[in-house]
Amino acid sequence: MYEIVKKRELAPDVKLFEVSAPLVARKAEPGQFVILRLDEKGERIPLTIADFNRKKGTITIIFQEVGKTTMQLGNMDKGDKILNFVGPLGCPSEIKNYGTVVCIGGGIGVAPLYPIARALKDADNKVISIIGARNKNLLILEKEMRKVSDELYITTDDGSKGKKGFVSDILKKLIDESRKIDRVFAIGPVIMMKVVADVTKPYGIKTIVSLNPIMIDGTGMCGGCRVLVDNEIKFACVDGPEFDAHLVDFDTLMGRNRRFLKKEEISVKEYGKKCQ
């Protein structure tokens, strides 16, 4: 059992938990993820690691309540225990001194982006960050990102904070201004990552995205998380979760993420009844 030692609400339906998991914390690196299961009847869901503290033995997860399991997780409190919490899974981000890097985070994607940006900063990169959300209430980790970035840009879909528009607009602007960009890291909704990939591709700017498909075991056993990369089947859990954005087939990924949509709706409805 893994105790929740801290709970904080970052935005409506977006929560931060620190979970006591010393073995996971000992090995965790930016870019990796955990899989958790809440109770005996629970499903296994992957969540990217938003931070880790080796000394305290904790892993930070940030999640948006979008499905039954994340809603149930959101209803848990400090002191409650998560039944299963396994990791760190997947390959860590490749961190080195690239020169100038652009770190792009959309919505909840800012959470896993933060430790990567921090590690890139520690590796003496010039870090330009672009973070965005639908509106200002949904924008997370602004303060944290500012601390590890040389420049920080903010966008919201409705213009309630920063520039009205999308994170990719700022990226385009930077490219148009002929800013030197050596590598881009982009994490967020699949459509955002696809657009970013389309923006950087003509300029040959290497772009890394972190994929979050449906998973079960997280060890390469089930193949449920398979994605097409350079027309080859790859498993996001063991070969990823980060891939070269210019080689990822985003359309297949979006399709596969809709695999159980109807059943997921039933789950949410049943959970809603139970909570009343």
Partner 1 sequence: MPVKREKQPMREQDPTERIKNFREVPLGYTKEQAIEEAKRCLQCKDMPCMKGCPVGIEIPIFIECIKEGNFEKAIEKIKEKNALPAVTGRVCPYEGQCEGLCTLGKIGEPVAIGRLERFVADLEREKGIKTPKKAKSTGKKVAVVGSGPAGLTCASDLAKMGHEVVVFEALHEPGGVLLYGIPEFRLPKKILHNEIEYIKKLGVQIREDVVIGKTLTIKDLLEEFDAVFIGTGAGLPVWMGIPGENLNGVYSANEFLTRVNLMKAYKFPEYDTPIEIGERVATIGAGNVAMDCARTALRLGAKKSYIIYRRSREEAPARAEEINHAGEEGVIFKFLTLPTKYIGDDQGHLRKMECLEMELTEKDESGRRRPVAIEGSEFTLDIDTVIVAIGQKPNPLIPKTTEGLEITKWGTIKTDESGRTSMKGIFAGGDIATGAATVILAMGAGKRAAESIDNYLRENV
**Contact flag: residue 224 with partner 1 (CB under 8 A):** yes
Interface of this chain with partner 1, residues 2 to 21, rule: CB under 8 A:
none
Interface of this chain with partner 1, residues 32 to 91, rule: CB under 8 A:
37, 41-44, 68-69, 83-89
Closest CA to 107 of 201, 213, 187: 187
186, 220 contact by CB (below 8 A): no
Residues in Cβ contact with 227 at an 8 Å cutoff, skipping those fewer than 6 apart = 211, 213, 233, 234, 235, 236, 240, 243, 248, 249, 252, 253, 256
Q: How far is the CB of 124 from partner 1 (least distance, A)?
A: 28
Angle 15-13-60 from CA coordinates, rounded to 5°: 15
Q: How far apart are the first and last CA of the chain?
A: 27
**Contact flag: residue 217 with partner 1 (CB under 8 A):** yes
User: How far, in Å, CA of 214 to CA of 131, rounded?
Assistant: 25
**Contact flag: residue 233 with partner 1 (CB under 8 A):** yes
Q: Which CB, 66 or 233, lies closer to partner 1?
A: 233
Interface of this chain with partner 1, residues 116 to 145, rule: CB under 8 A:
none
Closest CA to 240 of 89, 101, 118: 89
Q: How far is the CB of 171 from partner 1 (least distance, A)?
A: 28
> Which listed residue (3, 13, 151, 264) binds partner 1 by CB under 8 A?
264
Q: Which residues bind partner 1 (CB under 8 A)?
A: 23-24, 27, 37, 41-44, 68-69, 83-89, 216-224, 226, 228, 233, 238, 252, 255-256, 258-260, 262-264, 266-267, 270
